[in-house]
A and B are shown apart, each in its own frame.
Chain A
């Protein structure tokens, strides 16, 4: 028995199964991070109303900026990997995929360095509500980076067999993995400004 539309698109929807699946999954992920972003806003409003709650912290925006660029770059390379697969250039696909994985490692190393610097300065999640949400959100994001890197790494290293059997199927998988990767990138694009740019100076108390 074979499930229909795993590789080719269903004519009336124009989509294959996993493409719908990944968009639904991403919708769910949006709600997960949406919950956390709402928590950020909620806690920040609480801090605005109550000046005794410390908000903001000393984050290194230069490192955050480099990491933003690294992730955006990896989003480009993952698209290139998919495009090369569509053109049936397996070698170039592997090269671009390697670059993507490399970028994910670079991101995690920089992030790890930032965490390490915070810990050695005695700053932990429990230091303040700001650092709680900072570590939770960036930590969860880092887990997503690791998960994405594992999936993409699997396509990179173990994709050859599927490529020989059914290159379009591999291209579809890479597309799905790539969509997830873009999402991970996108989350960071929101995380970077709210933590590194908007939270590094003290809050002004509410006017009322």
Chain B
């Protein structure tokens, strides 16, 4: 049923980049041109929201990186005053320029939180998902544009609260990014130190409040993504014709939808513990600073929090990696000029991966004393989940086989992703086994493992995505020379930062040591690796400068694209004007073929776009009416 005002309105000429041709009736509320605030700040356009997400997430990524730089100085030169910036942090955090252990803990907790929840997921899912996914499925926008805006602003508010918690008395949350109680229940708690901490404005409480905003944001986003993929696919775009990137986002959305709420429950309970004096996670007979705590009723279970946290935490890991796999798949297919190897198997794998990721969470908890039988179960499921992961990464590797590869900047990052993610993934196997995990648990080996997955893995894929889709967003290419200047040092230095962690970790370096292991005898001969890692990290920071210059300069001065499809790609986002206007497509796209028809024998070009009719084999009408048509 249509609204009553059914008249056709005047359409602006199609060439101005604003698509109106696919509209039949205008809603009564979008006749006027939106003003600045509505267009760029409180926009409901998925592309603007995607860019807002991307920009905010990049800022948070820089903040998270800066926190890590501070930590790396401390680890390499424990007890030494910071040069130059040491005095900026005040006497509480850095007396005489030397970092306090509490501040180090805050930095560690906030580095993890900011990087996972405020930088990588918003960039991979919020930014790329918002910008690219609706374009790739041929949709005019997200299914719920207003919810989309609400999702961004909830994330923004959560991020601001999280960052602001650095400035309250006592500083930001300091119990690790996992915030395990009872440590996190005691930390910053005015119940124990009323003169030091505010009842509400203390680091840990603000962390929980900020997380509730972030969880709300991801809930709104994931509902929107799933509905959009199900409902707004273009005619003829069947499930097996979806680009792999869309599949990856689709599964990630399910993970966010279903995995985050238990953490919300945990956050609510921890907030109750802090604000209402309950004892969900505080055990009976707790002793703080040598005195027994009588104020609590007791009877709570710290293990319960860990279960709830990791029920989120593990699917979250796949939310970090799946969009990255999607981006890399698009770029590899495009630059090898070949179809992806085993597209169907990759899709099945990503679905299985999504399902299995819900039943592996307790492999983070082998040392909690939850019992060997439970450990056994989770060891088995963890072994199982490596199968679909390896299928996907192997498919990507074999996709390279026999291609005449174009090594442009996106492709460099995408190819580097494969071995880096491979190292990250394979070093996870010893952690999955009970027996070896006993030794490796909570060492730098773990840090090395998941940073290989996320830093030179996911973040490289995100860089690849930025270089790849930048011409669609702005109409200009990013500079190739600066791209090389960004890529090669980053590749080497990432390994310089993270590879020594495996060596230290196997020796037994604990991940939360604030002095980098200075005081132990068994660490002495590997302490020099701290210097290697820290210098690599500082140089890595410098290596990001070409990227920043490139990103901002190319918006104005980059080489202009000569067509709407500068990479000669096949997927629908390249069938839009550059940059796509409000409503995206000049006319409603109809899809006739699979996502990666590169180098089809007999085709006039080496790429056949999805919306390109093929009169000999497929009638348009037939393609449109058969939602389950095989490609």
Contact = CB atoms under 8 A, between A and B. Distances in A.
Given A32-B262, A35-B308, A124-B276, A1 B140 contact: yes
B258 A42 contact: no
Contacts of A31: 257-262
Contacts of B263: 35
A132 B140 contact: no
B621 interface: no
B231 A20 contact: yes
Given A5-B232, A24-B223, A169 B30 contact: no
B280 interface: yes
Interface stretch (B74-82, B266-274, B444-452, B544-552): B266-274
Contacts of B4: 165-166
A136 B1 contact: no
Nearest to B264: A32
Contacts of B28: 165
Contacts of B227: 17, 20-21, 24
Contacts of A15: 230-231
B266 A25 contact: no
A1 B583 contact: yes
Nearest to B253: A24
Interface stretch (A48-56, A108-116, A182-190): A48-56
Number of chain B interface residues as a range? 35 or more
What's the dominant secondary structure at chain A's contact region? helix
B219 interface: yes
B299 A47 contact: yes
Contact of B300 (A17, A20, A43): A43
A206 interface: no
Interface in A60-104: none
A124 B303 CA distance: 24
Number of chain A interface residues as a range? 35 or more
A129 B1 contact: no
Contacts of B20: 1
Contacts of A128: 297, 299
A33 to B, nearest CB: 8
B12 to A, nearest CB: 12
Interface string B110-150: 00000000000000000000000000000011111101000
Interface string A13-27: 101111011001101
Given A3-B143, A10-B231, A127 B297 contact: yes
B1 A169 contact: yes
Contacts of B277: 124-126
The residue in B28, B142, B276, B278 that gathers the most chain A C-beta atoms within 10 A of its C-beta is B278
A39 interface: yes
B618 interface: no
B279 A2 contact: no
A52 B284 contact: yes
B29 to A, nearest CB: 10
A46 interface: yes
Interface of B: 1-4, 19-20, 23-28, 30, 140-145, 147, 219, 222-224, 226-227, 230-232, 257-266, 268-269, 272, 276-280, 284, 296-301, 303-304, 307-308, 311, 582-583, 627
24 contacts: A1-B140, A2-B140, A3-B140, A5-B231, A7-B1, A15-B231, A17-B144, A20-B143, A20-B227, A31-B259, A32-B265, A34-B261, A35-B262, A35-B308, A36-B265, A36-B269, A38-B262, A39-B308, A125-B277, A127-B297, A128-B297, A129-B278, A129-B280, A132-B297
